[in-house]
Structure 1
Amino acid sequence: MTKLSRRFFLQTIGAAVASTVVGCTSKPILPVQGSAKRHIRLAFYTDIHARKEWDTPEALAMAAASINAQHPDIVLGGGDYITDGFQSSVATVAHRWDAYMKMHNNIQATLFPAIGNHDLVAALPEDGTPAAEDPRAIYLQKMGLARTYYAFDTLGYHFIVLDSVEVTGGKYKYRGFISPAQMEWLKQDLAALKSDTPIVVITHVPLVTAFYNVTQGVEFKPRPNRVIVNNKEVLELFSQHNLILVLQGHLHVKERYQWGNTTFITGGAVCGKWWRRGNWYKTKPGYNLITLNDNHVEWEYVEYGWQPRRP
């Protein structure tokens, strides 16, 4: 198996995205051995909420080591790499980024990240400091990206990474939403694909989930900051395409849901119950190991052995 260097990722994705304008597609081809076979092993982790209290740096090191031991072809990040960036100042969360980036840099396979709501820094600070002109700027700098949404091809699959967070203020502060500019970009990206190309989407806020039906009842309506509110419009764009897998986070539960030919996997959380002791809806701290073989999806949720110590 050929490993992709992090430098190659930054140069390929970063340069491609930087040169892309809305309405054009960005599809770097990653030279991984065996691309004609449509067989790929993925690790997907999400909701890290990095910080330095309660020995969490030790947990992050354990998680990275566990991911490396699986020898994935590529690794996908589902967002919320730090905790409370959205409502905090740049200075407040600087050490949290330091903690997360140690884990990030310890992962050996090439890592493709999606942004989460906590990764927007100083979007709406609660300490009276000014809001950031661009709350995504620090995330982009840390990840070596020019834009928070992008696409790439490898091993016979087309991957689409979405930015699912819109700052709204008000009661809920933000909502799950795919912006009009991003929707236009997505239309153009899909138009360049053959209809049978297998597609994987990565998003922080879920496109589809049964979590609230199961835990709150079928009449419960999720808050707009819990799900992507224009999910139907997004999914309609894939109606003539081969969307085989959607990877999503945000809810800290492990969940697999099938609709038509698409598998939706909600990926639990590296931090479990926000580093608190006990499980969150039967989900322990963990990540996901996924094997794709043409259009077939195999999924395993891996508990990496951390026992949370937060009171």
Structure 2
Amino acid sequence: MWADETMQIGRRAFLKGGALLLAAGPAGVMAAGEQANKGSKALRVGLITDLHYADKPPGGSRHYRETPRKLAEAAGQFGQSQPDFVVELGDFIDAADSVEKELTWLKTINKAYSGICEDRHYVLGNHCVDTLRKEEFLEAVERERSYYSFDRAGYHFVVVDSCFRSDGQPYGRKNFTWTDANVPQQELDWLAEDLKQSERPTIVFAHQRLDVSNSHGVRNCPAVRDVLEQSGKVRAVFQGHSHQNDYREIGGIHYCTLVAMVEGGGEESNGYSVMDLQTDGTIAISGFRKQNDYRWPAG
């Protein structure tokens, strides 16, 4: 396994050497890792997280109105990379002061996201259901469930919903504290059964982190990790929420936190990635802009 520090150094060097090429067009250029992986993939997935789109001025380091332009750059790259499907890992929109305004923001950014790929997936983040209820968000993006699984090309994928309070109540209409994120028992039972029924190597998508016990972590993450580890099938978990690149291996599972698209002004502050699930079992992440690269061999 490559050390995270090594991956960060390699990514910085690529951006420094390719800055002019990246600035030359919305699609940028193919990352070094993706070029090397081309032709050996079993499946390719586009990944973005924490867009926080809102039609409002910047708040601290978050540049809400720049998200559509950053997403357009990612869409251009995905157009070149041709992922089999795309996933956004939560906080698709930021909180609004009314349901009507938040639905308008959601419609705007979802129109851009929908144009990237027909096979697309949404992970619920706490900001997605700050003003909206889950049912309203899901209806707007034409999805039925907030947690579910699906199969593609020999792999099993699971979308997790951690937007529940400790008492099991779902987030919605500002009825929660963002640090009180939980996977309720009903979902845990479903997850265990779902993994039991599948014989395929599995990738999990989450918003709140499953690898830490601080304010950005799911409060019952040890119980969730136990289910994942006991299955013996989960290779990696991809998550957002804390807005910075981070990585841990726990119980033989890779936990990869991706960088937020909303952070920082200007195209150079963007972040998105392409994941190749290779025929030999290797998982390779080609990061763009501020997103790190990773490569995890099978076994």
TM-score (norm 2): 0.71
CA contact (8 A) 1:45 1:288 kept: yes
User: Which position in structure 2 is the counterpart of 1:47?
Assistant: 50
User: Which position in structure 2 is the counterpart of 1:288?
Assistant: 273
CA contact (8 A) 1:63 1:270 kept: no
Query: Of Structure 1 and Structure 2, which has the larger fraction of its residues in helix?
Result: 2
User: Which position in structure 2 is the counterpart of 1:72?
Assistant: 83
Does residue 203 of structure 2 align to residue 208 of structure 1? no
Alpha-carbon separation, structure 2, partners of 1:120 and 1:155? 32
User: Which position in structure 2 is the counterpart of 1:198?
Assistant: 201
User: Which position in structure 2 is the counterpart of 1:227?
Assistant: 217
CA contact (8 A) 2:124 2:161 kept: yes
Which deviations, in whole Å up to 9, do the C-alpha atoms of 1:91-142 show, x marking residues without a partner? 231331122112212212511111111111526xxxxxxxxxxx10121112
User: Which position in structure 2 is the counterpart of 1:89?
Assistant: 98
Question: In the TM superposition, what is the alpha-carbon distance from 1:58 to its structure 2 partner?
Answer: 2.8
2:248 corresponds to which of 250, 253, 257: 257
SS of equivalent to 2:180: strand
> What stretches of structure 1 of length at least 5 have no aligned partner?
1-36, 124-134, 210-220, 306-311
Does residue 190 of structure 2 align to residue 179 of structure 1? no
Give structure 1 regions of 4+ aligned residues with deviation exceeding 6 angstroms.
168-171
CA contact (8 A) 2:165 2:181 kept: no
> What stretches of structure 2 of length at least 5 have no aligned partner?
1-39, 57-64, 167-173, 292-299
Alpha-carbon separation, structure 2, partners of 1:252 and 1:91? 27
Alpha-carbon separation, structure 2, partners of 1:292 and 1:262? 15
Which deviations, in whole Å up to 9, do the C-alpha atoms of 1:160-206 show, x marking residues without a partner? 00101124678835522111111111122122123xx2110000001
1:237 corresponds to which of 221, 224, 227: 227
Q: How many residues are matched?
A: 235
Say what the alpha-carbon RMSD is for the aligned residues.
2.7
Does residue 107 of structure 2 align to residue 102 of structure 1? no
The 1:199–1:50 alpha-carbon spacing in structure 2 relative to 1, beyond 3 Å, is same
Question: Which residue identity is paired with 2:98?
Answer: S
Question: Which residue identity is paired with 1:83?
Answer: D
The 1:278–1:73 alpha-carbon spacing in structure 2 relative to 1, beyond 3 Å, is closer
TM-score (norm 1): 0.68
Once the two structures are superposed, the pairs formed by residues 156-171 of structure 1 within 5 Å of their partners are 156-167=154-165
Question: In the TM superposition, what is the alpha-carbon distance from 1:38 to its structure 2 partner?
Answer: 7.9
| Paired-residue identity, % | 25
Question: Which residue identity is paired with 1:60?
Answer: L
Question: In the TM superposition, what is the alpha-carbon distance from 1:291 to its structure 2 partner?
Answer: 1.2
CA contact (8 A) 2:126 2:178 kept: no
Alpha-carbon separation, structure 2, partners of 1:74 and 1:170? 33
User: Which position in structure 2 is the counterpart of 1:142?
Assistant: 140
Alpha-carbon separation, structure 1, partners of 2:85 and 2:289? 19
